[in-house]
Structure 1
Amino acid sequence: MKQRSIRVKAPASSGNLGAGFDCVGMALDWYGEFDFVMGRNPQESESTDGVSSSIIASMGERAFAASLAELGITVDTISVSFRGEIPVGSGLGTSAMARAAGITAAAHLAQRPEVRDELIDIGLALEGHGDNLYPAMYGGIHVVSSDPLTDALLDLPLSSPRDLEIVLLIPDFTMPTDESRKLLPERVTVSDAVHNMSRVGFLIGALYEGRYDLLRHAFDDVLHQPARSKIFSAMYPLIHAAQSAGAHGAYLSGGGSTIAAVVQKGQSKSVLIALEDCANEWNLSFTSRVCTIGSEGTHVVSDTGK
């Protein structure tokens, strides 16, 4: 076949949102771009910032190839490249972003965009984190959980307020999810389980009723953040600094190391300064960014050579 290139944009995402451990996730309006090129010898992945984009590109390629195999489509050589500034291993859903991009490109090539809903199981098998994959694929905030009778995932999109901003403090050190999960307790007490369940209720109520004063309580997790703070001593000081500066609430994004603070739109500056000052006090190297909730999920932006 002649050379053909499908360009896909996919968003970063923030998992857990505090107490919604492994079941709540949010897309961010911070996007990376993937080029899925067929009919050309593989080339080295590109990056705008020196991040190991080959890791992200290879994850996208695996999802693309697996999706094509499921659809019964054979193509010549595949080359996948990634461009973006989203760091790997920082709790911003880069693997889910890559899986969503690969699935979307394959569905587009098959001229069956609706098949993404069926192919998402491939992404879940590769990714393992539905709370990141669904927001990355469809945008917005989602509650995701498995059905014990069928093993299928249940997905509930939540209200995604437009009057909120997300302030991100991204330390330069990584906290790979698989590694940080080893710190989590195998069993939890009934009181801790009830604590987190009630906080997820607060989260849903806060989003639908505009009760942003509840977000501080909604993000108050006792299942995973305390354990992860053992390898991230500055985590709670950063969360407290953001809240003291006016954030509605703050939490560890995914498995870390990013701290996400939710603020009223237009009021991010003071929270950003507070987070950066706190990070400097703890001698952390970091980058920072202000986002909104990503309402647009993964989508094709161009298709050349078809």
Structure 2
Amino acid sequence: MINVRIPATTANVGPGFDCLGIALNIYNNFFVEEIEDGLIIEGCDDEYCNEDNLIYKSMKKCFEKIGYKHKGIRIKIENDIPISRGLGSSASCVLAGVIGANKIAGNKLNKNEILKISSEIEGHPDNVAPALLGGMVTSIKEGDDIYCSKINIPKGLKFCALIPDFKLSTEKSRAVLPNEIPYKDGVFNVGRVSLMVSALINGQFDLIKLACKDNLHQKYRGSLIKDYDDIINKCKDLDSVGVFLSGAGPTIMAMIKEDDINFYDRIKEYTSNLENTWTIRELNIDNKGVEI
């Protein structure tokens, strides 16, 4: 049986809409093997234990690309990444399927080909790339090809994920985005995403709060999340290095200094008084990515 461990990811990182992502140390473990016949899926709700399962669909897509005729498949899931919370749970399923299928078929694909197929299935590479490679990754799609670059972030930062007890589908969070944006909003984001990348590379953490600002998606998606503005402002008041919406949401991600021992308790106390239940998880960057 093949064991594929895949980290959670936080995409966009504020202004880097669909092109920035960071791998974090929450993990899903997937176990896959070829069996004589049929499909067995364990570790998820009954509604996902069928041929529409995203892991299985991704495996089939990979088998088709390679030209491998598989027999039966068994999949076992040990899930720790919250589902539909903006932490890359679907990307982990896609990668698990592609990597598991590639392993069964004799490792015909290299990492670039795995990234390309997985991004095809997922729709964009901003979660898939950091989950595969680890660390912070910038990624773009050019035609049918995916190009990415891994960024080395100096030590000194950790993350605090504020995860609510409600889900927000990517479809719904995409639906609130405008079809067109003003020119000035595009210029605004180009500047902030450039500042974000350079500040992280150079360890200029004092610039990140400014670099987290965004005019493309956060203000629209934030309207779908109860207490969003209040939580963002509270994170700023508690001296977070920066705060942003994780992926499509609804998780809110705060960057904090590595030696900050107060933020966790103070934000936990604050969110305990809100209408929804918020789980707070202190996290670090995963620099390894997928492990098999």
User: Is 1:60 aligned to 2:52, yes or no?
Assistant: no
Instruction: Say what the alpha-carbon RMSD is for the aligned residues.
Output: 2.1
Listed one character per residue, the Cα deviations across residues 99-141 of structure 1 (whole Å, up to 9, x for unaligned) are 1122222232334375232133221221112111101111111
Residue in structure 1 matching 2:277, options 285, 293, 298? 285
User: Is 1:22 aligned to 2:14, yes or no?
Assistant: no
Q: Match for 2:139: what amino acid?
A: V
Q: Secondary structure at the match of 1:255?
A: coil
Structure 1 range deviating more: 220-229 or 60-69: 60-69
Deviation at 1:247, TM superposition (A): 1.2
Q: Match for 2:112: what amino acid?
A: D
User: Is 1:245 aligned to 2:238, yes or no?
Assistant: yes
Partners of 1:138 and 1:298 within 8 A in 2: yes
Q: Which residue of 1 aligns with 2:34?
A: 38
Give unmatched runs, 5+ long, in structure 1. Answer: 301-306
- Say if 1:288 and 1:89 are closer, same or farther in 2 by CA, change over 3 A: same
Partners of 2:173 and 2:221 within 8 A in 1: yes
Q: Match for 2:270: what amino acid?
A: C
User: Is 1:207 aligned to 2:203, yes or no?
Assistant: no
Q: Match for 2:70: what amino acid?
A: V
Q: Which residue of 2 aligns with 1:104?
A: 99
Residue in structure 2 matching 1:180, options 173, 178, 185? 173
Q: Secondary structure at the match of 1:167?
A: strand
Partners of 2:158 and 2:256 within 8 A in 1: yes
Q: Secondary structure at the match of 2:87?
A: coil
Q: Match for 1:229: what amino acid?
A: G
Partners of 1:54 and 1:82 within 8 A in 2: no
CA distance in 1, matches of 2:47, 2:87: 15
Partners of 1:237 and 1:278 within 8 A in 2: no
CA distance in 1, matches of 2:159, 2:167: 20
Partners of 1:107 and 1:115 within 8 A in 2: no
Q: Which residue of 1 aligns with 2:267?
A: 275
Deviation at 1:187, TM superposition (A): 1.1
Q: Which residue of 1 aligns with 2:140?
A: 145
Q: Which residue of 2 aligns with 1:304?
A: none
Deviation at 1:180, TM superposition (A): 0.9
Deviation at 1:89, TM superposition (A): 0.7
Deviation at 1:52, TM superposition (A): 8.3
Q: Secondary structure at the match of 1:238?
A: helix
- Say if 1:113 and 1:275 are closer, same or farther in 2 by CA, change over 3 A: farther
Listed one character per residue, the Cα deviations across residues 245-293 of structure 1 (whole Å, up to 9, x for unaligned) are 12100111001010111111132x4222233233233211122211111
CA distance in 1, matches of 2:264, 2:275: 16
Count of equivalent residues: 290
TM-score, normalised with respect to structure 1: 0.88
Q: Which residue of 2 aligns with 1:160?
A: 153
TM-score, normalised with respect to structure 2: 0.92
Deviation at 1:58, TM superposition (A): 2.2
User: Is 1:121 aligned to 2:116, yes or no?
Assistant: yes
CA distance in 2, matches of 1:182, 1:201: 27
Q: Secondary structure at the match of 1:69?
A: helix
Partners of 2:40 and 2:49 within 8 A in 1: no
CA distance in 2, matches of 1:111, 1:285: 45
Partners of 1:23 and 1:145 within 8 A in 2: yes
CA distance in 1, matches of 2:178, 2:67: 42
Give unmatched runs, 5+ long, in structure 2. Answer: none
CA distance in 2, matches of 1:190, 1:133: 29
Q: Match for 2:243: what amino acid?
A: A
- Say if 1:116 and 1:65 are closer, same or farther in 2 by CA, change over 3 A: farther
Partners of 1:107 and 1:116 within 8 A in 2: no
Structure 1 range deviating more: 240-249 or 38-47: 38-47
Identical positions, percent: 28
CA distance in 1, matches of 2:114, 2:182: 37
- Say if 1:139 and 1:62 are closer, same or farther in 2 by CA, change over 3 A: same
